Homo-oligomer: A and B are copies of this chain.
């Protein structure tokens, strides 16, 4: 016969609701009580029924994280902090990608019995936020936002980082400056382009059309775009990349073409992912607290589930410029 929470309550000498609260690690219970309940549960071989728990509380204690593509390195670096923060609040992380092959992503999110969503991929015109709002499923924007539906969000403000970078770039004598920008239908693509152009304009520099490429934030995109830029008759001497993952592709393109970094071309990324600091890469980049931003988005999702009516929260993370080996003086020729 299956062991029930009633059996555990009896052995632990607590009420039945206390059993489920203890096993959820409810902070309002003492460690002593939780320990007693856990020991009784282990002793009896009790396995709480997730389905039963969901029906009684209306909660599944699961939050979905929606990313564009799990093979993209950028998302690798947000999964760990989101998972860690959710685990801290007693929530599980369920992964969703835009590219799953079974149907519409919002249908899947809704069908899967989750309490909320952290949206790490959205375009300014995508319908997912509208549909999530209409169905009443709480969600938080992580990194990218959408213009049509307001919701809790954690985003990056690129202005300060680009201002500092532009100053150094001008000091080092660069004039022919190129860029591989993110997609123009993403808030990150838009805000980084605006901030970069504004920072350069402050020094009388322009981002010329012939030196600009655009595309998804992927290593292959950076590689292809920079291969084009470096084979122009008069190539740029410095290339700003939409993010570090794109910058890895830029470095690959230069290495394949035998173009030296930074002697012949400088490369600047965005995100300061952990490998950017490695001695073998030493990528100059725009930094912010990526891990903190991801954790904050997870925390906001939990808060939103607990208090659906509370005012919206918008957290902005500031940027700084990190100078490293891939930024050098403009070549003289």
Contacts and interface: CB of A to CB of B under 8 A. Distances in A.
A165 to B, nearest CB: 22
Contacts of A280: 248, 251-252, 255, 280-281
This chain's copy number in the assembly: 2
Interface in A107-124: 107, 110-113
Chain A interface size range: 35 or more
A18 interface: no
Nearest to A256: B279
Interface stretch (A71-79, A151-159, A168-176, A182-190): A71-79
Counting chain B CB atoms within 10 Å of each CB, the highest count among A53, A80, A252 belongs to A80
Contact of A95 (B51, B73, B83, B278): B83
A70 B62 contact: no
Contacts of A84: 70, 100
Nearest to A325: B255
Interface string A195-213: 0000000000000000000
Interface stretch (A85-93, A230-238, A309-317): A85-93
Interface string A271-302: 00001001111000000000000000000000
A81 B252 CA distance: 25
Interface stretch (A9-17, A42-50, A138-146): A42-50
A279 B226 CA distance: 14
Interface of A: 23, 25, 38, 41-42, 45, 47-55, 60, 62, 69-71, 73, 76, 79-80, 83-84, 87-88, 90, 92-97, 100-103, 107, 110-113, 135, 219, 248, 251-253, 255-256, 275, 278-281
